[in-house]
Amino acid sequence: MLNELRYREKIGEPIRIGLVGAGSMGLGIAWQIAKTPGMELSFIADINPAAAEKAQSVYGKSVQLFSNADHALDNPKIDFDVIVESTNTISSAARYCLKAIHRKAHVILMNAEIDLILGHYLQHEANQHGVIVTSDAGDQHGVLMRMIEEIELWGFEITQAGNIKGFLDRYATSETKKEIAKKLHLNLIQCVAYTDGTKLNIEMALIANAANLIPFVPGMQGPKAANVLEALDLFNFDAYQGKGRVDYLLEANPGGGVYVIGRCEDRFQEEYLKYYKVNSRYPYYLFYRPYHLCHLETPRAIALAALWNKPVLTPKFGRLTDVFAYAKQPLLQGEIFHHGIGGDFTYGLIHEAANHTDYLPIGLLDSESNASRPRLLRNLGKDEPICWDDVELAESELLKLYNAQEKLLNATQHTSEMPHLISE
């Protein structure tokens, strides 16, 4: 990969990249692209002009800046081969992605929320225009996909794809996370979504839909552990009934790592694996990566898409799972939801989607307009799931796209894969 990028740089044909979103991750991406041969930023867009200027400073070169990404994406004089969507929006992110796709640009999603909520629709549009839409390579689900592909190549069946989460508080709010968000230079809404586990559940739903995995229980089990090696003893893999699952460990070392449990019943292979000192409880074997590096790995996703039309991760198996909304506190009829993901009222749990068609996907509670804020239609108790009939959803572009996506998914409900929605 590096040689191909160096060649692109040598002949003066770098991959041109539009960066949408210059927050914490966007800054890192700008820096990383500057250090990667054969890549250059075409523009940086952020609703906060100071953030875009800071990203340019980190990038170290002059680049066109926009406070409205639409102005860059609509301008035919601005050329780009790829955009990296790194905002924490949903409706706006959908618009940005679709505009890029219609200009035949590849899309890298550092934005896991839009990736899950409208990923199937974006894949359909990308296929129609001959481009790639993919999850990023550096977030947990992207790293897990890379591991899964390799482990399956070795002849293992995937028993579990696992995340490692340092801290969990389902009832985190903007007030309780205000100080830590400031200390870590994180967007407050994102910080709440990390803490209450919604982001974890979204990431694991993405890998589930890409690798044909489902949670063993709603929200996953998530046992506490001191070390990732304990995963072999903390789960009853025999109870999985031969199905691959997603789950996580809480508070385990190495923090920031991910792991995969593979199954191999071949005694011939067992002797080699013992010699290689692979941690095991026959026939289950543990493979782990002690880190995921977010923005450092984004250029890999860019290069795979631009050079070889290859995604890191797509929802290949359809909507096997989704993340549904639960009440963080007792909620009263008439409550207005300002945020679903990372909000004060709800947290999200992964479920097998086919068994919970009455539950409301948490992303649909997000709104960027005061006029379209969802409204609660009945009282709800703490930890109660929120159903479609519990909420009044105003007509919006997000809901329109979600319904269009449902039609696409329903058209493929009798197949295990969605080949016409996926750009291979």
Residues of the chain with pLDDT under 50: 414-424
pLDDT value, residue 369: 76
- Give the contacts of 252 (CB within 8 A, at least 6 positions apart): 164, 224, 225, 226, 227, 228, 230, 231
CA distance 143 to 297: 9
Q: What pLDDT shows up at residue 413?
A: 65
Query: Which of helix, strand or coil describes residue 359?
Result: strand
Pick the closest to residue 43 from 23, 69, 25 (CA basis): 69
Predicted local confidence at residue 242, as pLDDT? 93
**What is the percent of the chain with per-residue pLDDT over 70, rounded to a whole number?**
97
Tell me which residue has tokens 């060649």: 7
Beta carbons within 8 Å of 374's beta carbon, 6+ residues apart: 336, 337, 340, 364, 365, 367, 391, 392, 393, 394
Q: Which residues pair with 184 in a beta bridge?
A: none
- Give the global pTM: 0.95
User: Would you state the pLDDT for residue 371?
Assistant: 74
Residue 224: helix, strand or coil by DSSP?
strand
Is the separation of the CB atoms in 246 and 207 below 8 Å? yes
CA dist., res. 64 & res. 108, Å (int)? 20
> Which residue's entry shows tokens 């070795």?
154
Per residue in 272-302, pLDDT tens? 999 999 999 999 999 999 999 999 999 999 9
**pLDDT in the model for residue 339:** 87
Whether a cis peptide bond, with omega within 30° of 0, leads into 283 is yes
Q: Which strand ranges, in their side-by-side order, compose the sheet holding 214-215?
A: 214-215, 245-250, 157-165, 258-263, 284-289, 280-281
Residue 371, classified by CB atoms within 10 Å of its CB into exposed (0-12), middle (13-18) or buried (19+), is exposed
User: Which structural domains are found in the chain, ordered by start?
Assistant: 2-138+296-308 (3.40.50.720), 140-291 (no CATH)
**Is there a contact between 375 and 335 (Cβ–Cβ < 8 Å)?**
yes
